[in-house]
Structures are given as structure tokens and as C-alpha cells.
Chain A
Amino acid sequence: MPDTHKHRRASSDLERRRLLYLLSEALEKLSRLERILERQRSFVEAEYRRSEYTNVIDTLVNALASFKGLLIQNSARIGAFLRNENPTETQLKAVYGVIRKVVDPVLKIHELLVLLPRESAEPQVFFMLADCFRKRGKLPASVILTNLLSSYEYRVEDILQSEMSQQELPDLKAALRGFKPGGSVLGLAFADRDNPLAWAILAHEYGHSIDDTRKIAHGIVQRLRSPRGTTDNKRRMQVRWVAEVFCDFVAARVLGPASLIPILFVEMARSTLAGSSGGPTHPPTPVRLRLTRKYLADLHLSTSGFEDLFEVYEFDYDQKLRALSTAEKKNKEDVRTAADGLLAPLAAKIAFEVNSLRLRRFGEDNADRARTLQEKLQAGLPASCHRESSNEEILAKLASLKDGSSTRAVYSALEELNELPAMSSEIVTAGWLYKLSSFQDRLLRTFPGRTAKLGLYGEYLERVDALLLKSLELAAVHKEINSPTG
């Protein structure tokens, strides 16, 4: 039947696109962990000359090298898949299998980095957050590098109180009873130290800091008419779910669609849905994604450039849902229905609260500027500033100057050449747009034929990181110079 055929083709296309994102994630994590271990080795060698400590690093380096070897063994197969040379079902399954066998253990190796000396976050992460939240001077939050288990969470207490920890340590629940968390500590994965694109998620985490101070989620749930017999536990869960959507909206307001991307990559890299989002602390990610996209649409903010990833994420979630056992699937679906039932009617109220915060809004003009900045990144230039006037406007003004033009007129024409610092949200959005539009081509170059050149993808990532870090730094300095006290 033609409809079935069409459906099958669309599904295999989505499967292919899903694999592309997963492959990019595998190479990215490998490359980033290698970079961290290189720095660790330099540190250890400088600090303790004859230490056996380097053996630990060697073990991890060798493990990463084995997984690189696995990808290299499959170079021709992966290359053929990338060139879309009509792969058979077995080839597709093998490519998926090999990539999974790289991503899963590499993520486990990432967790072992908690045993090595801790690096500090890059200063640019604070420039970005301060700019997004209009905080001059010290940001009232710390950023620490940590493992994946506790990264992308607002506070370590959240991890301790999460179901996952309680399953492993049943006595923890009793120990944490009545515990009042305090302080703002945003967790960033070790691997994302130099990766400003992943920092977009920190805008969400900073939203928790705002919510904590103002008790907004609590207030929204308090005003709800709950049926009799609603337990304290259920109330707490509702507050947490509302808080998550509140923070998603905060991040979307200051960063636009890019705020959603890191979490989608984190989830797509996981092999199953078991133990992932959707539980007492977080509503399922597809619910959050849908509500945030609607919020962005209400702000008249286009998500073009990101739609492909949204579509592939939803496909990935659906595939993982199908792979669950009947009981697990029903559990996930029940949680999703409950989250939808609670959050969809509250979305307008949450949006109202976020819009009343007087946050700097990421608008369509910022999205346009981000598209222009994307071109700079493409040309290998930092994307730290933009000119308000077009070349044509400047040329017209310069052409209008005559021998007798007043000094004022000359300066007025020259002023048009002034560049304004880009906003951090524009830089991060430009970075994502560039990455999403260029990674496939880089994958093709990395797997040209019989032998993969994995270093090429690492160099590409390093270049993008360096350009974005430099852009954020330059924009912060530029802003400081332009400020009245600068």
C-alpha cells in the first residue's frame, strides 16, 4: 500500500537522522574526554614527577583508544551509511550497534572523572549567565563541573532526593526528611567545560534559583483546587513539575529555542528510557518540549534551524518507549498523561509569571542577528559583535559626504561603522545553528572511506569551542568598554 510504503520511508529517514546525531555525540564525547585527560596528564606530570597516578589516566586513555579503534574498524561501513549508499537492514543495525557500544561506555567513563582533580568552570560561563539575566558584577550562583548524574541539576540535594539515589541508598530518604536545601550551585558536566553550546541548559538551572527565591511554582500549585485526599507527596511532585516548566520558560525567554537543545542531546544519547526523565522530580521531556515550543510560538519566535532535531528527538523517544516492557511503558504513559493533565492548563499562568520577571527577552530580531553571526562562525571568525547599519546604508552615507561637509556630518557617517557587542544568547544561538548545519558535512570528512580520520571531528569541535569562547569573552569586554563606567 502506498501509505504504508511512505510511512516506512519516513521512518527509515528518521532512523538515519537519529543515527547521525548519535554518531556525532559519540565522537564528541570521545574527543572531549580525551582533551580532559590530556590536561589531567599535564597537571599530574607537572605536579608529581614520579607518581603512579598517571597509570589511572593511562587506563582511561587506553579505554578511549579502544573505542576509537572500534569506530575505525567500522570506518567503511559508517562511511557508506553517511553517504546514504542504500545500506541493508543488517548494515544499519550494525552501525547502530557499534555506535551504541561506543556512546554507552564512554558516558560511563565520564562518570569516573569524578575521581580525578576537579577543574574549574571557564569564566565565559559566568559572562553568559550574567548577560542573559542582566546581572552586572557577581552572579548569585556558582557553577561546578561534575558527573552526568548530578550535572544539569540545580543542586546536589536534588540528586540526593531523587528516586534514583533512594533506590540505591534506601536509608537516604529517612536521613533527608525535613532537610532544607540552600545555596545556588549549577552543575555542568565535566565534558562540557569548554562547550558553550551545552551551557544553554544552565539558563534553565538558574531559573530554579529565581523560583527558589520567589516561590513561584509553589504559589501556582497553592492556588490550584486539588481534590480531597491529595497527599503531601503529590503536592511536592506538582510543585517540582511546575518549577521545571517555569525554568524551561525562563530559559526559552532569555535564550530562545537553543535553550532546549542540550537536554535533547543528553536524552538521545541514553540507550533506554528506563530511569530517564519523567518521574517525581521532572515531567517527561516530550511534555516539556511541547509546552516550551508553544511558549516560543506565543512569543512569535521561530524555531527554524532546530525543527529537525525536535522531530528526531520525538522519534527517538517513541522508539525507546516501544522498547520498554509493557509495565514500564504503561508507567511512562501514565506519568505523561498526569504531567500533561497538570501542566497544559497551567502553561498560561506559568508563562505570565515568567513574562512578569522583566527578563531580557530573546526576540525575532535577536534570532536574525544570530543568523548573521552564524555566517561569521562559518567563515572561521569570532561572532562577538554586529553592526546595526548595512553595508549599503554606510556606503550611501559615505557617498553623500562632500568636500565641504561639516565635521558633524562626517562623524555621523563614520559612526555607522560602530560595532555593537552581541548578546550571549545570540552567540549561543549562532553556535547551535552553525553546529546543526555543519556537523553532517564534518562527519562525512571524518569517514571518507576505508580509514576514519577521527581527529578531524575533534579539531572541528575544538575550533567551534574556541570561536564561541572567544566570542563570549570579546562581547563581555566590548560591553564593559561601552558601559558608562567602562
Chain B
Amino acid sequence: MATAAAPRSYVYLSLLAGRAITALADLAEEPKVWNDQIRKGLEDGIAYCRAIGEARTSTPLANRRSGTQRSFKRLAIHDGKELSAACAASKCKEVERLLTQLLSRSREPKTSELVVAIEFLTRNASDEGSL
């Protein structure tokens, strides 16, 4: 029986991101072109963004540890990551919105938007939260 929850393994997420990058690169080369590979790639990209977004809203492992086990150095690193995580979350939403618009073919993409989306999808999923 099919389930709604998509598997979130790192390997699977990388594949989704890779297919989305491929679709965006195809659109960058020929904005008018449309085929199944592009459609599936955009859908995979949306699934990737949603998985990443969900992972961000879950509590990071480090915060569940007792305070005495966290050195000042680690605390500083994680706090820094939490700050940058907020920026990344908004970028994730932005990319998801773009992919949704491209999927509905409601507008043509700008090259600069595609570059931003490709860069976002290229980033390592393990940096995107506790996946």
C-alpha cells in the first residue's frame, strides 16, 4: 500500500535534488521545452524542498543533549547554524515556490532564479538539518 510519507534518506534526497538540478538546467538551456523528464524533475525538487523544510522544523539532536555535555565551542557553532538555518529556510521556501510555478507553467524562469535554485539544490543535504 502506498504511503504519503516519502523516504527521507540522504541517498534518496540527493537523487531528488540531482533530478531537479537536471530539470532546471534543461529549462535554462531551452525555456520553451517541456517533457516528462522536466516535469518529474520539478516534482522531485518540490519533494526535496518539503523534506528539507520538515527536517528543519524538527528539533536538532544537539538540543536534546544535556547542557553539561555541550562545550562553549559547540554551543557557539550550533547557535551560528541556527541563525543561518533561518536564512536557509526562507531560501528553501523560495525555491519550492519557483519550482511550483515552473511545474504549473504559469511563467518563464529568469536565468538568475535558476542559478539560485541550482545552487540551493547542490548544497549538501546533511547540512540541511538532521536527516
Contacts and interface: CB of A to CB of B under 8 A. Distances in A.
Interface of A: 63, 66-67, 70, 73-74, 77, 88-91, 93-94, 96-98, 100-102, 104-105, 108-109, 167, 170, 271-272, 274, 325, 327-328
20 contacts: A66-B15, A70-B22, A73-B22, A74-B25, A89-B115, A91-B25, A93-B119, A94-B24, A94-B25, A94-B118, A97-B119, A97-B122, A98-B25, A100-B122, A101-B14, A101-B17, A101-B122, A272-B127, A274-B127, A328-B80
B110 to A, nearest CB: 11
A325 B10 contact: no
A170 B15 CA distance: 33
B111 interface: yes
Contacts of A105: 10-11, 14-15
B11 A327 contact: no
A98 B14 contact: no
A70 B111 contact: no
Contacts of A109: 11
Nearest to B18: A101
B15 A93 contact: no
Given A94-B22, A98-B21, A327-B80, 11 more contacts: A73-B37, A74-B22, A90-B114, A94-B24, A94-B28, A97-B21, A98-B25, A100-B124, A104-B124, A108-B10, A271-B124
A484 B98 CA distance: 75
A90 B15 contact: no
Given A89-B115, A93-B118, A101-B122, A63 B29 contact: no
Interface centre among B15, B24, B77, B127, by most A CB within 10 Å? B15
B77 A327 contact: yes
Interface in B1-52: 10-11, 14-15, 17-19, 21-22, 24-25, 28-29, 37
B29 A272 contact: no
A66 B18 CA distance: 10
Q: Per DSSP, are chain A's interface residues mostly helix, strand or loop, or mixed?
A: helix
B62 to A, nearest CB: 9
* A-B complex: 4 closest residue pairs judged by Cβ atoms: A101-B18, A94-B25, A97-B122, A105-B14
A104 B14 contact: yes
B76 interface: yes
Contacts of B119: 93, 97
Contacts of B121: 97, 101
A101 B25 contact: no
Given A93-B115, A271-B124, A67 B28 contact: no
Contacts of B118: 90, 93-94, 97
A325 B80 contact: yes
B28 A90 contact: yes
B69 interface: yes
**Which of B25, B28, B69, B76 has its CB near the most chain A CB atoms (within 10 A)?**
B25
B84 interface: yes
B18 A97 contact: yes
A93 B114 CA distance: 10
Interface core residue of B24, B69, B77, B122 (most chain A CB under 10 Å):
B122
Given A77-B25, A91-B29, A101 B115 contact: no
B128 to A, nearest CB: 12
A102 B69 CA distance: 36
B64 interface: no
Contacts of A271: 124
A167 B29 CA distance: 45
Contacts of B125: 104
Contacts of A272: 124, 127
Given A73-B22, A90-B25, A96-B122, A101 B15 contact: yes
A271 B17 CA distance: 15
B40 to A, nearest CB: 10
A328 B111 CA distance: 31
A91 B15 contact: no
Interface string B58-81: 000000010001000010110011
Contacts of B122: 93, 96-97, 100-101
B65 A70 contact: no
Contacts of A94: 21-22, 24-25, 28, 118
A102 B11 CA distance: 9
A91 B28 contact: yes
Contact of A102 (B18, B37, B77, B111): B18
